[in-house]
């Protein structure tokens, strides 16, 4: 079957088992506190929990009332409290307050804390300090991985980005050690593994998304693989929660498409649907009966999905038009390509002056900074001043966070280096100049975006229009203007079977953390699994990247599986950096 | 910080409904509309008995989902799930299919058969035990396992055990040397949880100067301690640490951050005053100073205006009651407020725009006055004070000639005015000033500024378009007459 050239991508392993394991373990833990109990759930665990269990399962295991952590229990509450929480100091204090209040009023209860995904020593320390250690029992619910779709697994740890990249707090467990001893004697199901730190490529995550799934995420926020479509989408007075995954037959066909191709698809689809309904005319009773019993249900389902996605498109169009999306995209593309920087800077400035969304202004500033290796001091000061004036002085703290993480930096005064660089390059031959430039680059951790982009050809040069309906490369996910850096690296390494020839790029990426792990297993064409590739994104991955790699997979006949600490987008990244009044 | 940000966006955002297109071939929106019509026309056939639809509550959560139930609990309903469920079952047949399972298939019974956990015979068994945790947590494990079997764990083994979540006594690491080896092992293990655990122990057992000194040369551990102190809110120790490390700017920022937790404005103002002297960069010091001045000013304005509003004497406040207090708002918002309520006040009053402008020298680094004009424009347009708008956009040169000038494109000015329902006569004047011909035509057509459309076509010498436009104006109107007279003008050399 494996002919040369285009092969069909292999099926991914079934990750549904992860859900079942998580559910079984949760049930086990709930049974550890037999009898009726009230369950307190941490807010950010609610959506993940919804993906693997529901109220009736909890009820089967004697959960009486459900509370959100931070809400006080009602007076008539149960004799047993169970807390399902992330290991956070704040939450420990909340629990300790409840326990201590009970003690004061002479109320006796049983308390159990279930930490997800693991217990931290710091939490126990707080319990000890608060004098409730021993009054509560602790357990761990090792719910690390939540399959969001057949090819996406999320750890649902959005705070990882801030904690790790801003605070350098290491939350990462030793992967190798965990998997040690497992899988012996079994055929590997995955051929390659990529680990990608988000700070290798901030640019891609900062761009406005224009593939359908990305746009839906940017516009409505997809939470744990499901989205709330409000009245403006459903054209009724209620909101609908919709699961967005491969099971949705309409969505699965448009999720990876550039937004402009989606309209055509939807209208074609609705015409087909109409035609299928029209067949009813002229049916006799028997045919009608078959139609109703066999087809109608499917058609109805499709009808429902179609109208939802059409409604979503309409709402997206309205919102984006209102936000001058076209102009924003234009400015973004200029930044990526590195021309009209002055113009883009004033575009951003106007954004700020008009008090357009603070997140949006921040995002554009970061994109400017990272593509330009930092802002020139004069621009940095003026944009910062205007930002503080428009959105509040406390954002001073936000700017410090961004500077620290390298998203929004000021070119140091010493960076007249660039002037030296250009002089040098005029004097010396290209090759030597390249060396000298690199030496300068290594002085500071810079994004080097421009140079990397050139080396890897991230900005496609296309004669005429880029045909978004028949994409030629991964650039289609950004309207043909830019190939996502993260995805391009993966493509190159796969193509070259290693980093050979990419040394220059690795250096520009400031990458001493790159390790080349030689696969001991030789490429064995009979193993489908060789073409299953796991990509791990530490600090979040965007739907645009997922779409780009799915496209690459289709082209190359391989299957990408995505494992990420969380699904992210530019707004989430910016929000993680913002410090303002709660 | 949002003085009704939505409101603000309403002033600013364009209402222009130009379809955003990625390629200009066809009108995507109309295509979409068409699909929608087609799908909607099927509604009659597809009667809405959403049988395959998830049951969704008003808030949009599927009924029976956990998020939904929690919202129910939060909204004060204290009925237990039991009660709610039975009421649900009455109304829904789809829900009744979930009886409480007591069959042998229940997951709990599966587990109950398996609670015999291995007890460890030897130390090596305990060490290689990785399987247990994967399957089930450590609850019903023999008590003995919690204890250390030996007090002789090497630092490395101690760290390994801790990584597996085991309780380990660290008390035997008493010499500084031992403590540091332990810390270094933990850092080498790359597990933040363990590093923090060791740090907690070190913090408890070492004098802070010694701890700080040792951490200074251990950056990874240092980061973890800072993170930990931040999370537990041990501000004083944190500041001491940062001071010890000579990270003066971080000390300043850390202290400044605290103002976010102070609710009372007077206290907050006092606190900010104290922040001015902190070791910020020169640039940031001036921002902090501004922050203080701004809040101080807002407190004065707020007290005055609340009084004014209560007294009910001011027509402006009666007609446009304040939606929120001005306290803690950004400077631009404050300026907007002042242009809205206090535009005509003399420079001497604290609430007047000119005074604010002077105090803060808005945008001194950029095009002078840009932000001021923009904000004032928005405020005056909101009040439909068209004369003020005109004045703001008019400049006089040294010869005394007047000229219209805007800090942003005139198309934005037009959008803003239109949002505030400016009459055509007002709108027209600014549409005419839009530089880009195409944009000008679009706006003029959209807002029915006939004169501008007609003149633009005349200037473009586009007879066909001009003729076509005739059907857009009223029969026998002055505009029609104007078109006719232009079309009849023999002087114009039409391009078509």
pLDDT digits (tens, 9 = 90+) for A179-209: 434 444 556 677 788 888 898 899 999 999 9
A322–B23 C-beta distance less than 8 A: no
Q: What is the mean pLDDT of residues A255-271?
A: 92
pLDDT at residue A567, as a whole number: 96
Q: What is the mean pLDDT of residues A212-231?
A: 95
Helices H, strands E: what count in chain A? 26, 12
Rounded to 5°, the CA angle A413-A419-A421 comes to 115
Nearest CA among A133, A222, A84, A88 for reference residue A567: A222
Q: Are B373 and B407 in contact (CB under 8 A)?
A: yes
Q: Which of residues 159-198 of B touch A (CB under 8 A)?
A: 162-163, 165, 189-197
pLDDT at residue B151, as a whole number: 59
Residue B159: which residues within 8 A CB-CB, separation 6 or more? B182, B185, B186, B188, B189, B194, B198
Q: How high is the ipTM of this complex? A: 0.84
Distance CA B215, CA B180 (A): 10
pLDDT at residue A322 is higher than 50: yes
Compute the mean pLDDT over every residue in chain A, rounded to the nearest whole number: 85
Shortest Cα–Cα distance, B214 to chain A (Å): 18
Half-sphere exposure for A549 (CA within 13 Å, toward CB): 28
Q: How many residues does chain A have?
A: 582
Q: What is the DSSP letter of A523?
A: P
Rg from Cα positions in chain A: 27
pLDDT at residue A194, as a whole number: 87
Asked if residue A415 has a cis previous peptide bond (ω within 30° of 0), the answer is no
How far is CA B220 from each of CA A509, B186, B188, B237, rounded to the nearest angstrom? 22, 10, 10, 18
Distance CA B359, CA A543 (A): 47
Cβ atoms < 10 Å from Cβ of B128 = 12
Nearest CA among A525, A505, A523 for reference residue A514: A505
Q: What is the mean pLDDT of residues A339-360?
A: 92
Q: Are B229 and B238 in contact (CB under 8 A)?
A: yes
C-alpha B26 chain-centroid distance:
35
Q: Which of residues 59-118 of B touch A (CB under 8 A)?
A: 59-62, 64-70, 73-74, 78, 80-82, 85, 98, 100-101, 106-108, 110-112
pLDDT at residue A460 is higher than 80: yes
pLDDT at residue B401, as a whole number: 83
Cβ atoms < 10 Å from Cβ of B417 = 22
B64–A241 C-beta distance less than 8 A: no
pLDDT at residue B25, as a whole number: 42
pLDDT at residue A139, as a whole number: 93
User: Between the ranges A417-421, A503-507, B5-9, B177-181, where is the mean pLDDT highest?
Assistant: B177-181
Shortest Cα–Cα distance, B46 to chain A (Å): 6
pLDDT at residue A44 is higher than 60: yes
A174–B28 C-beta distance less than 8 A: no
* Proportion of chain B above pLDDT 70, given as a percent: 71
pLDDT at residue B358, as a whole number: 84
B38–A267 C-beta distance less than 8 A: yes
Residue of A nearest to B95 (CA): A56
* Proportion of chain A above pLDDT 70, given as a percent: 86
Per-residue pLDDT reduced to its tens digit, B62-116: 556 777 677 666 655 444 444 444 444 343 333 333 333 333 333 333 333 333 3
pLDDT at residue B83, as a whole number: 43
pLDDT at residue A528, as a whole number: 65
Interface test with A, best of B10, B39, B416 (most A CBs within 10 A): B39
Distance CA B21, CA B27 (A): 8
Distance CA A388, CA B331 (A): 8
Shortest Cα–Cα distance, A432 to chain B (Å): 36
Higher pLDDT, A582 or A217: A217
Q: A377 to chain B: which residues are within 8 Å by CB? A: none
pLDDT at residue A417, as a whole number: 46
Distance CA B376, CA B384 (A): 12
Looking at B42-106, list the stretches that DSSP marks H as alpha helix, in order from N- to C-terminal side: 66-74, 81-91
Distance CA B495, CA B460 (A): 8
Q: Are A165 and A537 in contact (CB under 8 A)?
A: no
Per DSSP, what are the bridge partners of residue A113? A83, A138
B62, B223, B328 ranked by CB distance to A167: nearest: B223
A64, A297, A322 ranked by CB distance to B13: nearest: A322
Q: Residue B355: what are its φ and ψ, rounded to 5°?
A: -65, -45
Q: Which two tokens stand for residue A95?
A: 């629990």
Confidence of residue A127 (pLDDT cuts 50, 70, 90): very high
Taking only the tens of pLDDT, chain B with its 496 residues reads 444 455 444 444 433 333 344 444 445 667 777 777 777 776 655 554 444 444 444 444 555 677 767 766 665 544 444 444 444 434 333 333 333 333 333 333 333 333 333 333 343 443 444 433 444 444 444 444 444 455 578 888 899 888 888 878 888 899 999 999 999 999 998 888 899 999 999 999 999 999 999 999 999 999 999 999 999 999 999 999 999 999 999 999 999 999 999 999 999 999 999 999 999 998 899 999 999 999 999 999 999 999 988 888 888 898 898 888 999 999 999 999 999 999 988 888 889 988 888 888 754 444 457 888 889 999 999 999 999 999 988 887 777 788 888 878 899 899 889 989 999 889 999 999 998 999 999 999 989 899 999 999 998 989 898 988 888 888 888 888 889 889 888 888 888 8
Residue of A nearest to B234 (CA): A89
Confidence of residue A41 (pLDDT cuts 50, 70, 90): very high
Distance CA A430, CA B64 (A): 67
pLDDT at residue B30, as a whole number: 72
Confidence of residue A481 (pLDDT cuts 50, 70, 90): very high
Query: Does the beta carbon of B40 lie under 8 angstroms from any beta carbon of chain A?
Result: yes
Nearest CA among B290, B286, B384, B282 for reference residue B332: B290
Q: Which of residues 428-457 of B touch A (CB under 8 A)?
A: none
Q: Which of residues 470-499 of A touch B (CB under 8 A)?
A: 479
Q: Which of residues 464-493 of B touch A (CB under 8 A)?
A: none
Distance CA A41, CA B414 (A): 51
How far is CA A130 from each of CA A12, A136, A470, B197, rounded to the nearest angstrom? 48, 12, 62, 17
Q: What is the mean pLDDT of residues A95-117?
A: 93
Q: Which two tokens stand for residue A177?
A: 């050690």
Strands A37-41 and A80-85: parallel
Q: A389 to chain B: which residues are within 8 Å by CB? A: 330-332, 360, 362-363, 371
The count of CB pairs under 8 A between chains A and B is: 335
pLDDT at residue A141 is higher than 70: yes
B450-460 and B424-431 helices, crossing angle to 10°: 30
A581–B35 C-beta distance less than 8 A: no
For residues A219-253, one letter each, b for 16 or more C-beta atoms within 10 angstroms of the residue's C-beta and e for the rest, the string is bbebbbbbbbbeeebbeeeebbbbbbbeebebbee
Query: What pTM does this model have?
Result: 0.81
Distance CA A51, CA B376 (A): 50
pLDDT at residue A512, as a whole number: 54
Q: Which two tokens stand for residue A512?
A: 């001493």
B190–A28 C-beta distance less than 8 A: no
pLDDT at residue B359, as a whole number: 84
Which 3 state secondary structure label does DSSP give B468? Answer: helix
Query: Does the beta carbon of A175 lie under 8 angstroms from any beta carbon of chain B?
Result: no
């Amino acid at each position: 079957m494996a002919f040369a050239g285009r092969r069909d991508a292999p099926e991914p392993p079934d990750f549904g088992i992860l859900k079942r394991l998580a559910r079984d373990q949760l049930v086990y833990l709930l049974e550890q506190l037999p009898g009726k109990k009230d369950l307190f759930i941490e807010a950010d665990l609610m959506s993940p929990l919804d993906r693997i269990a529901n109220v009736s399962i909890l009820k089967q295991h004697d959960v009486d009332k459900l509370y959100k952590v931070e809400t006080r229990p009602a007076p008539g509450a149960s004799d047993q409290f169970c807390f399902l929480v992330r290991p956070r100091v704040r939450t420990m204090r909340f629990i300790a307050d409840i326990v201590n209040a009970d003690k004061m009023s002479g109320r006796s209860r049983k308390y159990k804390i279930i930490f997800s995904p693991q217990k931290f020593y710091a939490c126990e320390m707080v319990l000890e300090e608060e004098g409730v250690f021993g009054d509560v029992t602790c357990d761990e619910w090792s719910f690390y991985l939540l399959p969001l779709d057949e090819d996406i697994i999320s750890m649902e740890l959005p705070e990882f980005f801030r904690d790790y990249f801003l605070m350098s707090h290491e939350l990462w467990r030793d992967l190798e050690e965990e998997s040690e001893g497992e899988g012996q004697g079994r055929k590997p199901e995955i051929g390659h593994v990529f680990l990608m730190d988000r700070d290798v490529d901030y640019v891609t995550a900062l761009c406005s998304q224009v593939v359908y799934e990305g746009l839906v995420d940017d516009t409505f926020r997809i939470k744990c693989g499901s989205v709330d479509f409000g009245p403006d989408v459903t054209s009724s007075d209620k909101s609908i929660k919709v699961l967005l995954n491969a099971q949705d037959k309409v969505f699965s066909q448009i999720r990876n498409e550039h937004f402009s191709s989606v309209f055509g698809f939807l209208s074609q689809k609705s015409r087909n649907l109409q035609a299928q309904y029209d067949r009813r005319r002229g049916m006799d009773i028997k045919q009608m009966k078959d139609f109703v019993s066999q087809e109608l249900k499917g058609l109805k389902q499709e009808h429902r999905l179609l109208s939802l996605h059409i409604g979503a498109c309409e709402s997206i169009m309205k919102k984006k038009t209102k936000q001058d999306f076209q102009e924003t995209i234009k400015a973004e593309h200029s930044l990526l390509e590195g021309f009209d920087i002055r113009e883009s800077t004033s575009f951003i400035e106007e954004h700020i002056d008009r008090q357009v969304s603070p997140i949006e202004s921040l995002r554009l500033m970061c994109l400017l900074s990272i593509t330009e290796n930092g802002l020139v001091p004069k621009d940095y000061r003026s944009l910062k001043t205007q930002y503080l004036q428009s959105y509040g002085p406390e954002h001073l703290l936000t700017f410090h966070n961004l500077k620290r993480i390298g998203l929004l930096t000021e070119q140091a005064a010493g960076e007249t280096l660039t002037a030296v660089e250009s002089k040098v390059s005029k004097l010396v031959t290209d090759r030597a100049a390249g060396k000298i430039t690199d030496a300068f680059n290594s002085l500071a951790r810079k994004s080097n975006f421009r140079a990397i982009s050139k080396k890897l050809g991230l900005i496609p040069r296309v004669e005429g229009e880029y045909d978004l309906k028949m994409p030629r490369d991964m650039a289609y996910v950004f309207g043909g203007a830019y190939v996502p850096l993260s995805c391009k690296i993966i493509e190159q390494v796969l193509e070259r079977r290693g980093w050979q020839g990419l040394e220059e790029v690795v250096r520009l990426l400031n990458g001493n953390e790159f390790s080349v792990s030689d696969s001991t297993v030789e490429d064995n064409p009979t193993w489908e699994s060789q073409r299953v590739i796991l990509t791990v994104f530490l600090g979040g991955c965007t739907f645009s990247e997922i779409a780009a790699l799915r496209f690459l997979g289709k082209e190359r006949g391989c299957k990408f599986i995505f494992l990420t600490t969380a699904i992210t987008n530019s707004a989430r990244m910016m929000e993680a950096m913002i410090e303002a009044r709660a | 910080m949002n003085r009704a940000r939505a409101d603000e966006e309403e002033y600013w955002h364009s209402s222009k409904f130009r379809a955003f297109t990625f390629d200009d071939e066809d009108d995507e929106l109309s295509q979409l509309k068409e699909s929608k019509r087609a799908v909607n026309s099927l509604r009659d056939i597809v009667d809405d008995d959403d049988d395959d639809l998830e049951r969704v509550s008003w808030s949009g959560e599927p009924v029976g989902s956990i998020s939904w139930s929690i919202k129910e609990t939060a909204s004060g309903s204290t009925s237990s799930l039991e009660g709610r469920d039975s009421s649900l079952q009455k109304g829904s047949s789809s829900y009744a299919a979930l009886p409480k399972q007591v069959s042998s298939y229940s997951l709990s019974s599966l587990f109950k058969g398996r609670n015999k956990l291995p007890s460890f015979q030897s130390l090596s068994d305990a060490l290689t035990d990785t399987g247990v945790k994967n399957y089930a947590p450590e609850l019903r494990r023999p008590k003995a396992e919690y204890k250390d079997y030996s007090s002789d764990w090497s630092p490395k083994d101690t760290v390994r055990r801790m990584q597996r979540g085991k309780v380990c006594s660290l008390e035997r690491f008493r010499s500084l040397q031992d403590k540091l080896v332990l810390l270094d092992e933990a850092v080498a293990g790359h597990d933040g949880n363990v590093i923090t655990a060791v740090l907690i122990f070190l913090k408890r057992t070492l004098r802070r100067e010694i701890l700080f000194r040792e951490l200074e040369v251990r950056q990874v551990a240092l980061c973890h301690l800072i993170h930990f102190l931040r999370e537990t809110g041990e501000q004083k120790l944190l500041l001491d640490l940062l001071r010890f490390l000579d990270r003066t700017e971080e000390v300043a920022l850390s202290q400044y951050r605290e103002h976010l937790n102070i609710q009372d404005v007077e206290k907050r103002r006092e606190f900010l005053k104290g922040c001015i002297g902190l070791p910020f960069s020169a640039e940031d010091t001036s921002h902090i100073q501004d922050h203080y001045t701004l809040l101080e000013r807002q407190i004065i304005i707020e007290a005055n205006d609340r009084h004014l509003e209560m007294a009910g004497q001011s027509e402006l406040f009666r007609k446009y009651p304040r939606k929120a207090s001005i306290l803690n708002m950004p400077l631009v918002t404050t300026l907007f407020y002042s242009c809205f309520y206090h535009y005509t006040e003399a420079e001497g009053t604290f609430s007047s725009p000119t005074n604010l402008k002077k105090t803060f020298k808005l945008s001194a680094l950029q095009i002078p006055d840009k932000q001021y004009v923009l904000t004032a424009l928005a405020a005056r347009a909101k009040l439909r004070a068209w004369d003020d708008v005109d004045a703001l956009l008019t400049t006089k040169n040294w010869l005394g000639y007047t000229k219209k000038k805007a800090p942003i494109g005139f198309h934005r000015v037009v959008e803003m005015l239109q949002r505030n329902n400016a009459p055509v006569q007002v709108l027209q004047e600014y549409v005419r000033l839009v530089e880009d011909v195409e944009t000008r035509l679009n706006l003029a057509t959209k807002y029915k500024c006939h004169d501008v459309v007609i003149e633009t076509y005349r200037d473009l010498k586009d007879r066909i378009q001009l003729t076509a436009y005739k059907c857009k104006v009223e029969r026998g109107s002055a505009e029609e007459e104007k078109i006719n007279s232009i079309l009849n003008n023999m002087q114009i050399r039409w391009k078509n």
